Amino acid sequence: MKAASKDVQTAVAERHERSGYRADVHPVLVSYLAQEGLTDAEISARLKISRRTLYAWRVRHPELAEALKDSKELANALVEHSLFQKALQGDVSACIFYLCNRSPSRWARNGQVDVQISSAPAEKDWTLEEIMRTYSGALQQAPEGGPGCTP
């Protein structure tokens, strides 16, 4: 039985090798496509190969796996940086999204807790410490964890 499964594994490996992988071309192409934000399915389609072939190539060719991983991390970092810049510029949606995903236990919106500050004197400039002390009860009632929040 084991000999038969070895024959099948060998046949599958040989088929994937005949699929046209080129170590000098494919890692570069895959890297470019991943940096553009394409998914594995979209990358496979662009290379005119099946997803199964792409996955087999990743297993058999570490340079391809590394190119995919590094390029996806770079694309994610660029988006994170862009989101962070929007949050710093005062984009409230970007702030909420960033905080809810970076620190979901502190910023989860599940069971949403709304704090009304309308009773605060308009003339007073509040410090962060005063706000935290005044509204700490409402903040402590916020749910921990959960599936996070998306605005």
Per-residue pLDDT of the chain (151 residues; tens, 9 = 90+): 555 566 655 555 555 456 699 999 999 999 999 999 999 999 999 999 999 999 999 999 999 999 999 999 999 999 999 999 999 998 888 888 888 888 888 887 665 555 555 555 556 677 767 766 776 665 454 444 444 454 4
Residue 41: how many CB atoms within 10 A of its CB? 11
Domain span holding position 15:
2-89
Domain annotation covers residue 9: yes
C-alpha span between 86 and 79 (Å, rounded): 11
Domain annotation covers residue 80: yes
pTM confidence score: 0.56
Domain annotation covers residue 117: no
Q: Which residues contact 64 (CB under 8 A, 6 or more apart)?
A: 21, 23, 26, 27, 30, 57, 58
Domain annotation covers residue 32: yes
104 contacts 148 by C-beta, under 8 angstroms: yes
Domain annotation covers residue 104: no
C-alpha span between 33 and 132 (Å, rounded): 46
Total domain count, the chain? 1
Q: Identify the CA nearest to 57 among candidates 32, 86, 93, 25.
A: 25
